[in-house]
Amino acid sequence: MYDYVSKELPELVESVLPIDPVRRGICGHSMGGHGALVIALRNPGRYQSVSAFAPISNPSTSPWGRAAFSEYLGKEGPQWDQYDASKLVREAPLDLEIRIDLGSADPFREQQLKVEQFVAACRESGQAVSFHLRGGYDHGYFFRDAPADPLAILKQWLARAAELTDRPNPHSLVLSTTGAQGRADARVVLLKHFDHELGYLVFYTNYLSAKGRQLAARPEACGVFHWDRLGLQARVCGPVLMSPGAESDRYFASRGWQSQLAAWASDQSKPASSRAQLEARMNEMAVRFGGNPGDWRKAAPPKTVTRPPHWGRYRLWARTLELWTQGQARLHDRILWSRDLKPAGEGQFRPGAWRAQRLQP
Contact yes or no for 341/349 (Cβ under 8 A): yes
CA pair distance 302, 257, nearest whole angstrom = 6
Strands (E), the chain: 25-29, 49-53, 97-103, 130-134, 172-178, 184-190, 193-195, 200-206, 220-227, 232-242, 311-317, 320-325, 333-338, 341-343, 349-351, 355-359
User: What is 98-117 written as a DSSP string?
Assistant: EEEEEETT-TTIIIII-HHH
SS3 204: strand
Query: Which residue out of 34, 139, 243, 266 is catalytically annotated?
Result: 139
Identify whether 106 is a catalytic site residue.
Answer: yes
Q: Name the amino acid, one letter, at 109.
A: R
Assess contact for 352 and 340: CB atoms under 8 A: yes
Nearest to 26 by CA among 6, 3, 4: 6
Nearest to 264 by CA among 299, 298, 304: 304
Residue among 101, 106, 295, 333 flagged as catalytic: 106
Give the residue from 329, 265, 287, 305 showing the smallest Cα distance to 103.
329
62 is catalytic: no
* Nearest partner of 6 among 48, 35, 45, judged by Cα: 35
Phi, psi of 72, rounded to the nearest 5 degrees: -100, -30
- Would you give the end-to-end CA distance of the chain in angstroms? 37
Q: Catalytic one among 30, 51, 57, 62?
A: 30
How far apart (Å, rounded) are the C-alpha atoms in residues 180 and 141? Answer: 42
CB atoms within 10 A of CB 50: 26
Displacement of CA 123 from its chain's centroid (Å)? 35
- Judge whether 60 counts as a catalytic residue: no
Residues with catalytic function: 30, 106, 139
